[in-house]
Amino acid sequence: MKMEVSTEEAAQKWLATAQFREILASDTSHKSQFVLLSQESGELGILLLNKSPFSEDQSVISEWIKQARLKEISKNDIYGCYSIQVPVEFNLINSQLIYPATEKHVQKYRAEEKIVIRETPEDYEQITKIYIEKYQMNLQWVYNILEKKAEAERVFYEEACSEFGWILANDIKWDGVTKENLYCLAIINRHDVRSIRDLRGSDVDFLEKLRDKSLKVIQDKYDVPANQLRAYFHYQPSFYHLHVHFVNIKYDAPGQLVYAAVSIEDVINNLRMASDYYQTHAAVLGLGDSSYQKFNFAGKRLFRRLEQLGARMLTQLGLADDQHEIGIDGALIPWKEAVWMRLYEEKIFENMKLEVDPTTVIPSKFILEPASIGENLNFHEEDQEYRLLTAGENRRVTADDHFQVRKSFIFTLSSIYFQDTRLIRFSVDDKDSNFFSYNPGDVLMVWPYNNDESMQIVIDALQYSDDLLDRPVHIRTNDRYLNPPPKWLVGDPTTLRSCLRRLLDLQAIPRRTFFEVFASLAVDEFEKRRLLELASPQGLDDLLAYANRVRRTTAETFRDFPVTSKSIPPERLFDLLKTIRPRAFSIASSPVVQGNAIELLVAKVNSTVDYQIQDFLLNFRFNTSLDCQTQDEVSAVHSSRD
């Protein structure tokens, strides 16, 4: 009768007849070594060796100290260096024997030069995923553990569920006794999740349950508090079946480096932030101004961080510059074309069209609803972001004959500069004194409004009746992501005339997006064709010549396209026109000397060059038009530079 040979006896017999081939890898910091062995038949095997940690059992320590044999290496005063030979039973080596081993096993354990790479989802799809499918080793040993067909003695907890279950087992590198070296694995039951790349937002609840339950079970069984355990994934993992490492923070475990270990907390937070985080596509356009030293600092930093986190970048970083001849459109146009093309190529959105129909009219941002006659404005003054200030003084402080002739070294043209510097004094009511308290270095944010000339140009071009302009309306958003105009600025109910005066910027230089929207509203064929030319990337030179170089205002543009202008519905003005932005002015007065008053020193410079560029900047228009005799008012708020 043939007697069965135990697995231990079989391994002992195989090892006794094996021959040394080479050391595949050696780790002196963790006292481990991977040795390649072979039989005469050519069969390969790999022996994984790892020195056992010292026992903390006092009786064991006392015993091996008594039996230790010293051999002196050196002696200096009271300090002696010795090698100590301890009894065999106290000098065990943990080992793992893989036989018969394949070439895949050999490649896995052979030492290779390590480098740091940033794997994007695109790299994963085109490189890593193909590698996994082609070279992945047989995972039957993992399934055997899950089904308790092997290594059942290492499993100390099971969450029984085919889809959302897992087992907890002691890692082969841990002796199961020394708490300082505690090392456990949580292996999930699902076979379709190979790594964190396969996780989705729907897995967050499962991951949280696995984390919390595993930490509690380990604490109860081994008396190691949860706050002394690290829980992390490996990426790339040693085998592609999702598992979580639970390690005592005192133990310097292999693969615990920042580049290899990904905290389970980070994975959960990332999936909460975006359910497809590990498959995310991203594109970054930084909005900046090259006149500042840290040009587009935030955009550059965000782009680098997204790359580090593994986001799949649709295109290179776009750096928009407000100082560009056409503003941010100088970078936005090529960046948007590149992003649009990648979205189309990747088929991220079904039924996506490569060419955008410029005549497509999208819903307006706001809806104008008629208000009841006599309906009163209802809001609290203390909730206002800005308060009205009265201009008590507007005095010229520049000499009347001041001018300067300067030679331009850029254009070699003679230019004449006229400067008009004004001291403007605002009176602050006692009830607003706390609101406008300030310190040296603070600024006053002034909200300007459109002048009568621009207002009249636009009204004449739009051909709106006085009844339409002065009809009370409520402004409602047509998009849940938009905020309505501030009530303190235009009122609620408000009128279209009030919005044209205080809210919509009629003197801004129109940008390409203005002409895109304008063209979609055009009814005249000639005007539509001209507007589309100005809105197209190919018409950039025409746009610069028409708008930017001569600083043509939006109001003047309405006048140049009369047929289209008079057909614009009132609610479409909010799509066409930008909102007036407040301007910051340094406060020139002293809060101690002036008391309830704020003084600004504002200089307006008019320049005339050969190509007759005129400066129509809105924020300087009020400087010479404010009349202290009629008690003109402006909206303002104090803001600290801090």
Tens-digit pLDDT profile for residues 313-344 = 888 898 888 888 777 778 888 888 888 888 88
Cβ pair 511, 329 in contact under 8 A: yes
Task: List pLDDT tens digits, range 341-393.
Answer: 888 877 767 677 777 665 666 788 888 988 876 555 554 444 566 778 777 78
Task: List pLDDT tens digits, range 405-451.
Answer: 444 433 333 445 567 788 888 888 777 777 778 888 888 888 888 98
Residue 510 has pLDDT above 70, yes or no: yes
Q: What angle do CA 159, 163, 165 make, to 5 degrees?
A: 15
Residue 394 has pLDDT above 70, yes or no: yes
Who has greater pLDDT, 532 or 603? Answer: 532
**Average pLDDT, stretch 172-184?**
87
Residues comprising the chain, all counted? 642
Q: What are residue 564's phi and psi, to 5 degrees? A: -70, -40
The verdict on 201 and 259 lying in the same domain is yes
Residue 157 has pLDDT above 90, yes or no: yes
Query: Is 616 part of a structural domain of the chain?
Result: no
CATH of the domain at 181: 3.30.428.10
Residue 630 has pLDDT above 60, yes or no: no
Query: Is 341 part of a structural domain of the chain?
Result: yes
Query: Is 613 part of a structural domain of the chain?
Result: no
Amino acid at 412: T
E-strand stretches of 348-401? 366-370, 387-396
Under DSSP, is residue 222 helix (H, G, I), strand (E, B) or coil? helix
- Characterize the bridge pairing of strands 285-288 and 318-321: parallel
**Average pLDDT, stretch 288-304?**
86
The verdict on 98 and 159 lying in the same domain is no
Which of 163-167, 212-216, 410-414 has the lowest average pLDDT? 410-414
Which of 110-124, 403-417, 444-458 has the lowest average pLDDT? 403-417
Residue 91 has pLDDT above 70, yes or no: yes
Who has greater pLDDT, 45 or 492? Answer: 45
The verdict on 269 and 233 lying in the same domain is yes
The verdict on 42 and 134 lying in the same domain is no
Out of 560, 583, 606, a domain closes at 583
Residue 625 has pLDDT above 50, yes or no: no
Q: What is the mean pLDDT of the chain?
A: 80
- For residue 431, what pLDDT is reported? 77
Query: Is 2 part of a structural domain of the chain?
Result: no
Q: Which of 58, 165, 36, 39 is nearest to 109 (CA)?
A: 36
Task: List pLDDT tens digits, range 265-277.
Answer: 999 988 887 777 7
CATH of the domain at 373: 1.20.990.10
Q: Of the residues 105, 234, 241, 243, which is catalytic?
A: 243
Task: List pLDDT tens digits, range 17-40.
Answer: 999 999 888 877 667 888 999 998
- Band the pLDDT of 623: cuts 50, 70, 90: very low
Task: Domain count for the chain, please give it.
Answer: 4
**Cα(589)–Cα(432) distance, rounded to whole angstroms?**
17
Residue 439: domain span = 366-583
The verdict on 394 and 484 lying in the same domain is yes
**Cα(349)–Cα(363) distance, rounded to whole angstroms?**
21
CATH of the domain at 331: 3.40.50.360
Residue 549 has pLDDT above 70, yes or no: yes
The verdict on 321 and 402 lying in the same domain is no
**Cα(146)–Cα(186) distance, rounded to whole angstroms?**
10
- Band the pLDDT of 3: cuts 50, 70, 90: low
- Band the pLDDT of 642: cuts 50, 70, 90: very low
DSSP string, 295-355: TTHHHHHHHHHHHHTT-EESSPPEEEETTSTTTTHHHHHHHHHHHHHHHHHHT-STT--SS
The verdict on 274 and 130 lying in the same domain is yes
- Band the pLDDT of 606: cuts 50, 70, 90: low
Residue 259 has pLDDT above 70, yes or no: no
Residue 634 has pLDDT above 70, yes or no: no
Sort 267 into a burial class: Cβ within 10 Å, 0-12 / 13-18 / 19+.
Answer: buried
- For residue 405, what pLDDT is reported? 46
The verdict on 207 and 303 lying in the same domain is no
Query: Is 164 part of a structural domain of the chain?
Result: yes
**Cα(215)–Cα(228) distance, rounded to whole angstroms?**
10
Q: Which of 7-21, 31-45, 209-223 is modeled with the greatest confidence?
A: 209-223
- For residue 467, what pLDDT is reported? 92
**Average pLDDT, stretch 38-45?**
91
Under DSSP, is residue 441 helix (H, G, I), strand (E, B) or coil? coil
Residue 517 has pLDDT above 70, yes or no: yes
Out of 564, 583, 602, a domain closes at 583
**Average pLDDT, stretch 242-257?**
82
- For residue 4, what pLDDT is reported? 61
The verdict on 553 and 518 lying in the same domain is yes
Query: How large a percentage of the chain has pLDDT more than 70?
Result: 84
Query: Is 615 part of a structural domain of the chain?
Result: no
Q: Which of 160, 183, 348 is nearest to 253 (CA)?
A: 183
Which residues neighbour 327 within 8 Å (Cβ) at sequence distance 6 or greater?
320, 511
- For residue 374, what pLDDT is reported? 57
Who has greater pLDDT, 142 or 385? Answer: 142
The verdict on 176 and 272 lying in the same domain is yes
Out of 568, 583, 598, a domain closes at 583
Query: Is 156 part of a structural domain of the chain?
Result: yes
The verdict on 441 and 399 lying in the same domain is yes
The verdict on 207 and 295 lying in the same domain is no
**Average pLDDT, stretch 536-540?**
81
Query: Is 633 part of a structural domain of the chain?
Result: no
- For residue 631, what pLDDT is reported? 43
- For residue 207, what pLDDT is reported? 95
Q: Is 281 a catalytic residue?
A: no
Name the CA radius of gyration of the chain, rounded.
38
